[in-house]
A and B are shown apart, each in its own frame.
Chain A
Amino acid sequence: MTSMAARVLRPAILLILGLIWLVPVYLLVVNAAKPAARYASDQVWRPVGEFALFDNIQEAWELAGLADAVTSTLIYSVVAPALAVLIGAAIGFGIVALRLRHGFFWFVLVFGGTVFPLQMILMPLFVGYVEAEIYDSRLGMLAIYTAITLPFSALVMRNFLGGIAHQVFEAAVMDGATTWRIFWRIYLPMSTSALVAVFILQATFVWNDLLLGLVLSQSDEVRPLMTALTSLQNTYGGSQLVTVLAGGLLVSLPTVVLFLSTQRIFSRGLNLGQF
């Protein structure tokens, strides 16, 4: 009886909540698809007959010169989170499995990186970057993106690995495995879902970053995507609202696709019990 009710109730609640969540997305898409001349602020709910989404997208693409920034942004949002996930998993492993001395202290030190208000470290970073001659370089951008995504990764990985029974480690040692091998061949594979979750969340963060890109880069080959996009919307005038929305929609597509394509990993019932 209860399970029957649950079978209907659970998807129903999720569906209703999900629809509510999609309302702003609806507004975004409907208005991004309006021709500029037909957009009116008191008619945001109603679609107009004409469908101009692709024209608007094209206009945003050209106006903001987005093409230049795609390659570099792609590199940043793949490499930096990947490094952060690995480095974060490594310290998690060091603390949880290898029982690093004063583990809590070192963990808090790394996690403390999220505590600093990002806006306040921008200026010293900029000066430091120029002095270290990594200002306006891809290396510099990768380094800061790795650093900024690392604390989150360390927190999740440390806690996730903490859920793996220590006997797993001890058994592997009995089999004569080295610590490196245990990390690479046992702990990492056991945490695929956490690794992927951290990776996609942080990749999205990097993809959407505006502030760091703005301050630490300048040339077209190094500047990330969002800095180009925001030039559409500026205190000193800018483009039509529909163009801004269409541009925002366009640059969101890759991250939405990323979420879509990784859904499988979170649904295939991977759990530690099977090991």
Chain B
Amino acid sequence: MRLRYSGAVAALAASALVLAACGGDGDDEAAEAPGTVAFYTDKAAWEPQFLEVSDVSESSLGLGLDFTGYSDADQYSAFIRQAFRTDEKPELFTWHTGSELEDLVAEGLVAPTTDIWQAAIDNGDVPEAMREYFTVGEDQYCVPMNAAYWVMYYNKAIFDEHGLAEPTSWAELMTAADTLLAAGVTPFYETNILFSFVWFQTLLAGTDPELYNALSSGEASYTDPGVVEVMNQWRGMLEAGYFGDPGDQTTPQDQLKNGTVAMINFGTFLSGQLNSVDMVSGTDYDFFIIPNVNAELPQTSLIFETGPMCTAEEAENRDTALQYADWWMSEEAQTAWANARGDVSFNPKALVNDEQLAALNEEASAESYLLLERYFEATPVPVLAAALDGFSAFVTNPGDPMPILETIQAEADAYWSSQG
């Protein structure tokens, strides 16, 4: 009797689970409808823009995006890495150039795109200079998802009020900052979270671009006198009160709009964010390319970033996904994308509606500019993690930079020695 009942308990518990399962559809099959590519990204907030482009591709290519967005970049990276071990290999996914991409290529996980690249370059859809950032060894991998340049945004009303014009030299920029400071306006935006590297990048690239590149390839040390000098210059600016409060977590677009700060050193994707708070490009805000710190340099350093869109080598619909990647680089796709996002495009033929951005899109390919990869992608991940921690402590409590630089260099030594 008792045994029968306790048996019944187990049976009930089991059947409860089954019943509960029936509540859902349990449709793990979820076979993709023909004509969609499973797309993953850590830019969940860009879903509407991706879907806008997807509408275009559905009519012109017969393929749309099945969008899955992550809002946490770290979780996303782990998810993609693990997905390669399963049967759910990602068909199309956004990633990072630099050491993150090299990691994937080293394991033979991503599909090469050499042919797609060659065709796009021949067709004028992408500048030749872009290619090296997607090259590992002999081949190209992935295609650029987006591109952005790092420039100085400013609040036009504030500039007008203080009689300031767009500076054309570092000295003019500093004079403008002093003018603002004297009038009680904080010149520059500061954040200590993800982007604590920004001013380090600007100062170093504008002072010694060779050292900037050597630093990211491990050929130079963070304790190099040139680096120390840049840190001390940064410290001087921090102590002079040039920067906003690193503990103010108000979004940059709101800080510029409210006049909390007059200028923001940021990627061109800030345009989209500024538009979203009802600021008008060319009227309420504008931007200029940051002049070099060292006026002697032959070319103006211009930081750019690009995020790749990749396909798993063994993805189920590899060829379809690559077809989509190919289309993504086209003029049609890039026109749709740049205008949906309110950003520039890597494709010089793309018709960018925003006049300021369109001008930059053309200007950037001129000889007088030296394109440098953003610090975030150029620096290997473990070194970057140490650097972000160090810089965030530095902007919060400016002081002797040496201990910070030594910590970063220790991490760099460990990384480069493990790379053989």
Distance (Å) between the CB of A115 and the closest chain B CB? 21
Q: Which of A11-19, A176-184, A257-265 contacts B (4 or more CB under 8 A)?
A: A176-184
Chain B interface size, under 10 / 10 to 19 / 20 to 34 / 35 or more: 35 or more
Neighbour of B27 across the interface among A36, A87, A221, CB < 8 A: A221
Tell me the smallest distance from the CB of B355 to a CB of chain A, in Å: 21
For chains A and B in complex, what number of residue pairs have CB atoms within 8 angstroms? 131
Q: B28, A231: Cβ atoms under 8 Å? A: no
Q: Given contacts A37-B278, A221-B25, are A236 and B16 in contact (CB under 8 A)?
A: no
- Confirm or deny: B70 has a beta carbon within 8 angstroms of a beta carbon on chain A: yes
Q: Are B26 and A137 in contact (CB under 8 A)?
A: yes
Instruction: Return the chain B residue nearest A178 by Cβ.
Output: B5
Bound: A231/B71 CA distance, A? 5
Instruction: Give the nearest-CB partner of A132 in chain B.
Output: B28
CB neighbors of B among A127-142 (8 A): 127, 130-131, 133-142
Q: Is B137 an interface residue (CB 8 A)?
A: no
Cα separation A79 to B20 with both chains bound (whole Å)? 7
A58 within 8 A of B: no
0 or 1 for each of A97-135: is its CB under 8 Å from B? (1 = yes): 000000000000000000000000011001100110111
Selected interface stretch from A49-57, A237-245, A266-274: A237-245
Q: Which residue of B lies closest to A76 (CB)?
A: B24
Known contacts: A41-B254, A139-B21. The answer to whether A233 contacts B71 by CB under 8 A is: yes
Check B79 against A126 for contact (C-beta < 8 Å). yes
- Flag whether B87 is at the interface (Cβ < 8 A): yes
Distance of A230 Cα from B44 Cα, bound (Å): 8
From B268-276, B294-302, B315-323, B361-369, the one touching the partner chain is B268-276
**Cα–Cα, bound, A72→B82 (Å):** 25
Instruction: Answer yes or no: A75 CB below 8 A from chain B CBs.
Output: yes
Within 8 Å CB of B73, what residues of A?
235
> Inside 8 A of B68's CB, which chain A residues have their CB?
218
B2 and A215 contacting across the interface, CB-CB below 8 Å: no
1/0 contact string of B17-47 vs chain A (CB within 8 Å):
1001101111110100000000000111111
Nearest opposing residue in chain B for A181, CB measure? B5
Q: Chain A interface residue count: which class? A: 35 or more
Chain A contacts of B283 at CB under 8 A?
A: none
CA of A86 to CA of B254 in the docked complex: distance in angstroms? 50
Having A138-B23, A179-B2, one finds 8 other A-B pairs with CB under 8 Å, namely A37-B277, A63-B48, A83-B17, A122-B75, A139-B21, A141-B24, A235-B194, A236-B43
Residues of B at the A interface (CB closer than 8 Å) are: 1-2, 5-6, 8-9, 13, 16-17, 20-21, 23-28, 30, 42-48, 68-73, 75, 78-79, 82-83, 85-88, 194, 248, 250-251, 254, 258, 269, 272-273, 276-278
Q: List 26 A-B contacts (CB under 8 A).
A: A41-B248, A72-B24, A75-B23, A79-B23, A86-B13, A90-B13, A126-B82, A126-B83, A135-B28, A135-B88, A136-B28, A138-B24, A139-B26, A141-B24, A142-B20, A146-B17, A178-B2, A179-B5, A179-B6, A180-B8, A211-B75, A215-B79, A230-B71, A233-B71, A236-B269, A240-B277
